[in-house]
Structure 1
Amino acid sequence: MPLKKQFLKSRPVVKVTFEIPAEAAGHAKAAYLLCEAQGWQKEPLKQLKNGSFKTMLELPTDQQDDFEFRYCLLDEHGEEHYDNDWQADTYRPGALGVDNSVVRVRN
């Protein structure tokens, strides 16, 4: 799952694009991102014509001591159907005994 980052010089944020490729999405009709920076609220990913899903979040670069945010991707049934993001910067143990992907927001 590609993870793209764009650091802004004008504000203390980084634009992070999260994507689930069509081959990983399979026959999913919807996908969601859960991110620590968003209070673990479901963020819908937009399904593209090629069957992939994508969303972009602006994550603050000045609010975390460790400059990292945990996240995971869910299918339309609310299950962590997708493997950890291979493009994640690292992984951290989650509360439910599975690892969460981590995005670093420091340049």
Structure 2
Amino acid sequence: MAIKKQYLKTKPICKVTFSVPAEEAKSVAVIGNFNEWNSEATELKKLKNGTFKGTVDLASNNSYEFRYLIDEKSYLNDTEADGFAWNEFAGADNGIINL
């Protein structure tokens, strides 16, 4: 897994690219408080090498909680997240990204 951050010089925006190797998966979405945990809001595209990848524009100087949703049924945290926070509702940790 990988998270790439690219800060824009002209706007307080960071382009965050999420990459998830999941060859056997049919779909991967990144969900978080930046898209109201909507699994359809940020679907990642499957590349020929089996990696799912997508870019999201997020406001700089913020922290966001997120997870990956694999095939609409299982959740996965990114090992390269900036940190982790317990989520009482999910009963599990969410990844944290700091911009």
- Regarding TM over 0.5, the answer is yes
Once the two structures are superposed, the pairs formed by residues 73-88 of structure 1 within 5 Å of their partners are 73-80=68-75, 82=76, 84-88=77-81
2:29 paired residue number: 32
Helix, strand or coil for the counterpart of 1:37? coil
One-letter code aligned to 1:7: Y
Q: Distance in 2 between matches of 1:61 and 1:39?
A: 18
With structure 1 as the length reference, what TM-score do the two structures score?
A: 0.83
| Deviation of the 1:79 alpha carbon | 2.1
Q: Distance in 2 between matches of 1:103 and 1:15?
A: 12
- Which structure shows the higher strand fraction? 2
One-letter code aligned to 2:51: S
| Deviation of the 1:14 alpha carbon | 0.4
Q: Distance in 1 between matches of 2:91 and 2:23?
A: 25
Equivalent pairs: percent with the same residue?
A: 34
With structure 2 as the length reference, what TM-score do the two structures score?
A: 0.90
| Deviation of the 1:77 alpha carbon | 2.8
Once the two structures are superposed, the pairs formed by residues 1-107 of structure 1 within 5 Å of their partners are 1-21=1-21, 25-42=22-39, 43-61=42-60, 67-80=62-75, 82=76, 84-94=77-87, 95-105=89-99
Gaps of 5+ in 2: none
Retained in 1: the 8 A contact 2:23–2:49?
Answer: no
**Would you say how many aligned residue pairs link Structure 1 and Structure 2?**
96
Retained in 1: the 8 A contact 2:34–2:64?
Answer: yes
